């Protein structure tokens, strides 16, 4: 097993050292609510989006290559124990945490052609890429039982973070955000210890002289009856005999809260997830969920879409298919941009408009899982326009 393996790090409890004195492991990172939501949002968004294999036709049109074995692998079931959603979500999470995700490519004959018939994820930390001096790519694999193996590039699907320091392996989000996650964990621990062991009194009442029993009793009864409980929050004391109320709350409380908010912002920067999607409610971006979805896709997911599409085309197409350049993989990001029924109605009315329509009725019906119509495969024809004729002048009497 590689000494940089996340599995070995987790087993030894070593983690990644941070300046805050906290060893950042993947479990500790995922306990951070902002980080967990960010990686969950990216991973499940990638997992839920339909991934289709398309074919370019000689007449310039395209079609879904449903007759190709890879279509089912990408869209339905990549292996015997995972759905397409589970496989893509898992691989995406590995790429976020470790920088790399690997799956064994199982080749076979289907329909008289050699094609991928299964994609089986490798255990994390069991495999790593290696390039020889002659540029040949292989993978060093350490199975659970037995000695190390060398696998050819055609047998491994390698999906990595778009950012790479050596052009071979992607950067790990845990490595890059270690200080942010370490500081966030240290702040959480400090707050937890204060709540567990600290003095939680809101303040003290100071008197210049010792109170008598009667005055002390009135003060105690007033505190219990008039100032305890949620309904009396923020109420002020009416003090007698020179009493002064000294609250314990200091600027440190505000600083602690500000630090925790700052760490959420740092997580947003590292993951490219917009702040509102991390529940930073005090900041509003856009006017609705459609704008947020567009922002999320444009600045976070688009890079991952390209990484997925090109990794699949590189590893899961035969050499002949790559040379022919007829097949290509495409994510349907439109699934994340579905707004309200009113927004969809306005969009599709323009798409089917009489002037410059770009969708046919059956495409619109298909987006709502409706059956196609025989007359729904042609673009609407532009509406005929007529020139208004001036009214006739009345004849002279």
**Residue 331: enclosing H or E segment and its boundaries?**
strand 327-331
How confident is the model at residue 294, as a pLDDT? 82
pLDDT tens-digit series, residues 245-277: 666 555 455 556 677 788 889 999 999 999 889
How confident is the model at residue 48, as a pLDDT? 94
**Helix residue spans in 227-352 (DSSP H):** 251-271, 289-296, 302-316, 319-324, 341-351
How confident is the model at residue 385, as a pLDDT? 53
Neighbours of 235 (CB within 10 A): 11
pTM of the model: 0.76
Rounded (5°) CA angle 235-238-239? 135
Q: Which segments in the chain show pLDDT lower than 70?
A: 1-14, 191, 193-207, 209, 211, 223, 225-257, 281-290, 337-342, 354-355, 368-369, 382-397
How confident is the model at residue 313, as a pLDDT? 97
How confident is the model at residue 338, as a pLDDT? 64
Q: How far apart are CA 29 and CA 37, in angstroms?
A: 11
Q: How far apart are CA 10 and CA 7, in angstroms?
A: 5
């Amino acid at each position: 097993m590689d000494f940089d393996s996340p599995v070995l790090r987790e087993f030894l409890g070593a983690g990644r050292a941070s300046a805050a004195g906290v060893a950042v492991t993947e479990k500790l990172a995922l306990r951070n609510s902002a980080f967990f939501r960010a990686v969950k949002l990216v991973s499940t968004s990638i997992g839920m989006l339909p991934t289709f294999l398309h074919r370019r036709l000689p007449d310039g049109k395209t079609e879904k290559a449903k007759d190709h074995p890879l279509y089912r692998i990408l869209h339905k079931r990549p292996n015997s124990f995972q759905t397409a959603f589970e496989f893509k979500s898992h691989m995406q999470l590995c790429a976020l945490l470790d920088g790399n995700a690997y799956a064994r490519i199982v080749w076979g004959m289907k329909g008289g052609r050699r094609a991928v018939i299964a994609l089986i994820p490798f255990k994390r930390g069991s495999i790593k890429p290696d390039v020889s001096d002659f540029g040949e790519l292989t993978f060093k694999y350490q199975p659970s039982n037995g000695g190390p193996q060398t696998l050819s590039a055609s047998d491994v699907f390698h999906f990595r973070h778009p950012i790479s320091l050596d052009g071979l392996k992607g950067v790990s989000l845990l490595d890059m955000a270690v200080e942010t996650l370490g500081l966030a964990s240290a702040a959480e621990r400090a707050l937890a210890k204060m709540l567990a062991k600290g003095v939680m009194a809101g303040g003290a009442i100071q008197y210049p002289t010792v109170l008598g029993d009667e005055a002390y009793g009135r003060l105690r009864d007033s505190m219990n009856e008039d100032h305890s409980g949620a309904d009396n929050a923020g109420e002020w004391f009416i003090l007698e005999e020179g009493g002064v109320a000294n609250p314990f709350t200091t600027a440190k409380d505000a600083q602690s809260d500000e630090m925790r908010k700052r760490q959420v912002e740092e997580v947003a920067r590292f993951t490219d997830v917009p702040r509102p999607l991390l529940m930073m409610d005090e900041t509003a971006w856009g006017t609705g969920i459609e704008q947020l979805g567009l922002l999320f896709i444009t600045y976070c997911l688009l890079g991952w879409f390209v990484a997925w599409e090109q990794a699949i085309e590189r590893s899961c197409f035969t050499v002949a298919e790559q040379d022919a350049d007829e097949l290509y993989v495409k994510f349907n990001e439109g699934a994340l941009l579905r707004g309200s029924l009113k927004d969809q109605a306005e969009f599709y009315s323009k798409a089917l408009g009489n002037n410059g329509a770009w969708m046919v009725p059956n495409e619109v019906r298909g987006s709502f899982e409706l059956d196609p119509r025989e007359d729904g495969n042609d673009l609407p024809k532009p509406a005929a326009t007529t020139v208004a004729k001036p009214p006739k002048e009345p004849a002279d009497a």
